[in-house]
Amino acid sequence: MSFFSKLDDATRQNIDTWLNGNYDQETKAQINHLIEKEDATALTDAFYKTLEFGTGGLRGIMGVGSNRINRYTIGAATQGFSNYLKKEYGDQQISVAIAFDCRNNATTFAKITADVFSANGIKVFMFPELRPTPQLSFAIRQLGCKGGVMLTASHNPKEYSGYKAYWNDGGQLVAPHDKNIVNEVLKIVDVNDIKFNGNDSLIEMLGEEMDRKYVSVLKDLSISTEAIKRQHDIKIVFSPIHGTGMPLVGDTLKAYGFTNVTYVEEQCTVDGNFPTVIYPNPEEHEALTMSIEKAREVGADLVMATDPDADRVGIAVRDLSGNFELLNGNQTGSLLMHYVLKAWKDAGKLTGSQYVVKTIVTSQLMDRIAESMNVPCYNVLTGFKFIGALMTEKEGKETFVVGGEESYGYLVGEHARDKDAVVAAAMIAEMAAYYKDQGKSLYEALLELYVELGFYKEKLISLTRSGKAGAEEIKAMMKSYRDDTPLKLGGSDVKLLRDYAQQTEKNLKTGKVVKIDLPKSDVLQFVTEDGSVISARPSGTEPKIKFYCSVNAPLGSTAEFEKVSKVLDEQIDDIMKDLGL
């Protein structure tokens, strides 16, 4: 039996298509090299399927193959998107916006995307240089585009690239458009169906005017302007981690009135290889190491760092001992939601028509905050696109104030339909100035929030399982949790099982089943008698399965913080052991 015949049918078929189709010779040479090496793993991972839109769009490792990011998968995605736009809008003049970040090959992929759209008669507005993801969302809404594309892999390692597709509201694709576009892409079985020869007359470059509009809109969201005037020189350190956060975060901080911002110069250099970090992800402590070193050097109060496409922001603040403590996404999001709602309330702006949004795996503390302010808090599926979709649904009926997710993504204001680290950074700085004006640090404000509404502590465990074998292992893990549901976690009985794939919530004590009014999603959530919430969710953009654990307890005073924190840590560890992790 030959080596090639040992590969599964789908892999062999996709390889044959690429070797015999109208693909460039360099691509074919790379495929033949893998065949000569008899590298079954590399060939299978690259060809066993076609990349699909997940919670973040199209994302994968760059290289040859139907399951990789390259000229042809980018081209096929854009051709399918073009075909769907033309079906939806008929003879109307269709326009789209395109932006890209610092990823290797991002400018090339952006040009391919623009060429395919324009070859299909679609008008393209394109940023000539890297821009943040939220600014693309903003531009789509400003220009009245029918869609858009952001070339980015967000916080993934340097080997990755990606393609985020947006609809006419400035939000990432949701049902039915996401699946419909996938179907259009799947119809492209011949590379000759992709129109690669662009029409330059339909491609228009966007200038600095869009930058000015964006910063102006963000400036108008500022609330505590007097506190900023008094604390304008609060010491801030900021890093864009080689990405799009510069210069717009700096411009926005300046527009808000902050005058003492220090930049991590080594990380202000645009570089898709991210030479100063292991992962360009502000969720990772290591990614903020240089920022914290700089903060110690200059005696800063606040550290902020954005990911490559500037839709996520991580922060570090000084604890009670003066040492820098990194806050997780739940802590930052809770602080931000509490501050913005309180500022709105104090300004008499909460009239009863406002709302906030979070995802189902994000801290319940946000629900308690909204409840304390008499503001509805809606819970949506994981992925900011669902927050954006809810905002579009409620546009003109209710007013969105603030929203966020545990993975460091937040939005203040209605100017975009995606998480926005530019406005988040500005509002976090404003929040720090507001509390400093009252003689408090952000850390002290967080502890006071715990005392007021309860100490909620969360932990995320991610298991990476790469390739086809990994995907099958993740699927098997989810099946085992469904078939053999744990009855006790961390010493507390499991009361509710929420299966978002089945759209049901079952009370394990009474047997009562109620419907979950959210789209189907492969997520399981266990709710215990003591109020702990544990969620299991395969990632839609990475080869991972994620476990989110949230526990809580009353906090009588800030002096009890360390003691209660230790108890909650032990509870989380017990829960994870019960899940076999």
Question: Within this chain, do residues 397 and 366 fall inside the same structural domain, yes or no?
Answer: yes
Question: Within this chain, do residues 330 and 346 fall inside the same structural domain, yes or no?
Answer: yes
Cα 364 from Cα 454, distance rounded (Å): 10
The partner residues of 324 in beta bridges, in order of sequence, read 318
Question: Within this chain, do residues 426 and 479 fall inside the same structural domain, yes or no?
Answer: no
By residue range, what is the domain housing residue 25? 1-48
Question: Within this chain, do residues 321 and 246 fall inside the same structural domain, yes or no?
Answer: yes
Question: Within this chain, do residues 300 and 347 fall inside the same structural domain, yes or no?
Answer: yes
Question: Within this chain, do residues 120 and 223 fall inside the same structural domain, yes or no?
Answer: no
Look up tokens 């900011």; give the residue.
384
Question: Within this chain, do residues 309 and 429 fall inside the same structural domain, yes or no?
Answer: yes
Considering 400, 435, 453, which residue would you say is the last residue of a domain? 453
- Return the CATH number at 551: 3.30.310
- Return the CATH number at 219: 3.40.120.10
Question: Within this chain, do residues 128 and 42 fall inside the same structural domain, yes or no?
Answer: no
* Residue 154 appears among annotated catalytic residues: yes
Cα 354 from Cα 342, distance rounded (Å): 13
From the list 82, 118, 154, 222, the catalytic residue is: 154
- Sheet strands (E) in 172-235: 203-205
Contacts of 461 (CB under 8 A, 6+ apart): 546, 547, 549, 576, 581
Q: How far is CA 287 from CA 104, 308, 446, in A?
A: 19, 12, 23
The partner residues of 497 in beta bridges, in order of sequence, read 506, 526
Tokens of 264: 């991590």
Considering 206, 233, 251, which residue would you say is the last residue of a domain? 206
Question: Within this chain, do residues 221 and 268 fall inside the same structural domain, yes or no?
Answer: yes
Helix, strand, coil abundance in the chain, percent, nearest 5: 40, 20, 35
Residue 172: closest CA among 456, 382, 484: 382
Question: Within this chain, do residues 105 and 217 fall inside the same structural domain, yes or no?
Answer: no
Q: Domain tally for the chain?
A: 4
What backbone torsions phi and psi does residue 345 show, to the nearest 5 degrees?
Answer: -65, -45
Cα 536 from Cα 521, distance rounded (Å): 11
Write out the chain's pLDDT in tens, 581 residues.
Answer: 477 777 889 999 999 999 999 999 999 999 999 989 988 989 999 999 888 765 456 889 999 999 999 999 999 999 999 999 999 999 899 999 999 999 999 999 999 999 999 999 999 999 999 999 999 999 999 999 999 999 999 888 999 999 999 999 999 998 889 888 888 888 988 999 999 999 999 999 998 999 999 999 999 999 999 999 999 999 999 999 999 999 999 999 999 999 999 999 999 999 999 999 999 999 999 999 999 999 999 999 999 999 999 999 999 999 999 999 999 999 999 999 999 999 999 999 999 999 999 999 999 999 999 999 999 999 999 989 999 999 999 999 999 999 999 999 999 999 999 999 999 999 999 999 999 999 999 999 999 999 999 999 999 999 988 877 888 899 999 999 999 999 999 999 999 999 999 999 999 999 999 999 999 999 999 999 999 999 999 986 668 899 999 999 999 999 999 999 999 999 999 999 999 88
Question: Within this chain, do residues 444 and 502 fall inside the same structural domain, yes or no?
Answer: no
Considering 165, 183, 206, which residue would you say is the last residue of a domain? 206
Question: Within this chain, do residues 295 and 414 fall inside the same structural domain, yes or no?
Answer: yes
